[in-house]
Amino acid sequence: MEHPVLLVNPGELVVARVSAALENLSIPLVSREFGMEGIGQCEEMRPSVVVCPARFGDFDGTLFLTELAKVMPDVQRVLAISKEDEGIDVEEVINRGAAQYFFTETTYSSQIPLVIEGARRKYLQGLKQAEVSVLLQKKNVELETMTHHLETLVDHRTRQIEKAKQEWEKTFDAIIDPLTIIDDEFTINRGNLAAARAAFMDIRHMPGARCYKALFQRDEPCETCPLRSKGASTDSGGLEAEVTSQDGQKTFRLSVYGMESTPGDFKRICYYKDVTEEKKLLKQVTQAEKMAGIGQLAGGVAHELNNPIGVILSFTQLSRLPAQQSGDEELVDNLDEIGKAAERCKKIISNLLEFSRPSLDQGTHQVSLNETIESAHFLVSTQRAIKNLKVVKTLADESPQVRANSNELLQVFINLIHNASQAMDATGVLTLETGKAGPVMAFARVTDTGEGISRENLKRIFEPFFTTKAPGEGTGLGLSVTYGIIERHDGVIDVRSEVGKGTTFEVRIPLWTEPDLDDEDGDEDDPTEEINL
């Protein structure tokens, strides 16, 4: 029997009236007689409604219902009041929660089922609400568990996304060449650290800047930009072009690739390769090749000039004898000048041929340091830059004999004297010195009174292709080749310079020593063996 209506200590009249009221309602009805101890039995029976008389002998129904409310607050409590109990303050009983409903002997029989049925319905609704509450609590626990699990998954995925983002950003920034993502309006959406450095901007300020303004200091898109006429599409393998900064100091090879991150959101990835030095080196190599070709051509021309100069010398000598016999001293003097000029030309051509012709002897041998620096000066002296200079020679009385390849050593001093002469104007002084630098080394110095070399450039003068000369006036190879030659000869080249006062290059090279023919093993020394200092 589930949740019956319990009649506690009812009188016959109450039983009769309640039974009659519930007859057509199919509500189970139970009647029990007990005192205050009956509260425990009530808990076992789990009634929905308890109907209790206000008085039954010594039994106080209001007190019973008050105690019952404490242990079973959901049970609906009805107080039955007889005529003898009409003095009870019903309102006070209800206010303090002892009972929710009441009826008296005078209450119409039709109202009693309404009271009990309403009380029972309220109890059952409370049970239903309790069940729903329990179910809701259970669902809330399940929902909290699911929410916690979902939050854990979201947190894990967020960390994964953040990690991937950081890895992507680090990869993006690790690229040493500028890299940007731009839209159709040439606006930078994102750039790496290299792009920020190239633009001289804080990387946080790059988004929103125009690529042509930030990277190339232009007010409009670059003329050669491939995006001016057509954009890179997602189907293309990329577009390439060379773009140059407004001042012409920087040149980049630009590669553009399409990227559609979301439908309709089309971006371009722009990769900039700095080819400024590459193009400069290419021009310098091309210039060096031209100079090498000119050198070969000059050697060929010099060789062809040898024959007519020989004819001039021959006819000058043949013409001199009759003029001398006839006493025409003026003609003799003129012929002597012609002969001297022809001999000078022949010497120039001979030195030029020797310098331009590849050396067949790649080894070292005994070379006069004085003669070599004199020959170098003689070759360079034909150039306009050195003709008006004052030349001071302080050469050793006894020429140091050094161990060297004569052609390569001649090239060293031609380079040094040529550079010195170009560093000065017509009032400059060129000083050439030779001598011994200790027991095993000789030195040669080439000093000019030019503008000198700044400290920054002094560190780079021996770098290949480095030059401070205007385009077309030098390849930047002379001092690099000079350094390599001296190093191969186990020598040293030093430079001292003071801005506004001049520069001195000093070359130190091993002295020649006669080969020892009496080795302990009886073998002769190789005359080209280098001296290890």
The pTM for the full model equals: 0.41
443: which 2 tokens? 């030195």
* Pair (326, 470) in one structural domain: no
Predicted local confidence at residue 403, as pLDDT: 92
Strands, sheet with 188-191, edge to edge from the N-terminal-most edge strand: 188-191, 179-182, 265-274, 251-262, 239-244
Predicted local confidence at residue 477, as pLDDT: 65
Mean pLDDT (the chain) is 80
**Is residue 211 within 8 Å of residue 224, measured between CB atoms?**
no
* Pair (502, 385) in one structural domain: yes
For 504, the domain range is 360-533
- The C-alpha atoms of residue 254 and residue 437 are separated, in whole angstroms, by 55
* Pair (342, 269) in one structural domain: no
* Pair (462, 510) in one structural domain: yes
**Letter for the amino acid at 28?**
P
- The C-alpha atoms of residue 270 and residue 297 are separated, in whole angstroms, by 46
152, part of any domain: no
Predicted local confidence at residue 525, as pLDDT: 44
- Asked if residue 140 has pLDDT above 50, the reply is yes
Closest CA to 356 of 423, 275, 411: 411
485, part of any domain: yes
Domain termination site, one of 340, 357, 374: 357
* Pair (124, 44) in one structural domain: yes
Q: Any idea what the CATH number is for the domain that residue 124 is in?
A: 3.40.50.2300
Predicted local confidence at residue 346, as pLDDT: 74
Q: Any idea what the CATH number is for the domain that residue 256 is in?
A: 3.30.450.20
53: which 2 tokens? 């008389």
Domain tally, the chain = 4
271: left (phi over 0), alpha (psi -120 to 50) or beta: beta
Mean pLDDT of 95-124: 82
Question: For residues 176 and 285, which has the higher predicted lDDT (pLDDT)?
Answer: 176
- Specify which residues 79 forms β-bridges with: 52, 102
* Pair (377, 464) in one structural domain: yes
Least confident of 80-84, 212-216, 453-457: 80-84
453: which 2 tokens? 């070399």
* Pair (193, 289) in one structural domain: no
Question: For residues 421 and 353, which has the higher predicted lDDT (pLDDT)?
Answer: 421
- Asked if residue 532 has pLDDT above 50, the reply is no
**Residue with the two structure tokens 């023919």:** 517
Tens digits of residue pLDDT in 500-510: 899 999 999 99
Q: Beta 49-53 vs 492-498: how paired, if at all?
A: unpaired
Closest CA to 291 of 148, 529, 122, 472: 472
- The C-alpha atoms of residue 368 and residue 374 are separated, in whole angstroms, by 10
Tens digits of residue pLDDT in 244-283: 887 777 888 888 888 776 777 778 888 888 888 887 777 6
Kindly state the helix (H) or strand (E) to which residue 457 belongs, with its residue range. helix 455-458
* Pair (185, 115) in one structural domain: no
Predicted local confidence at residue 446, as pLDDT: 95
**Is residue 263 within 8 Å of residue 255, measured between CB atoms?**
no
Mean pLDDT of 470-488: 72
97: which 2 tokens? 């929660």
140, part of any domain: no
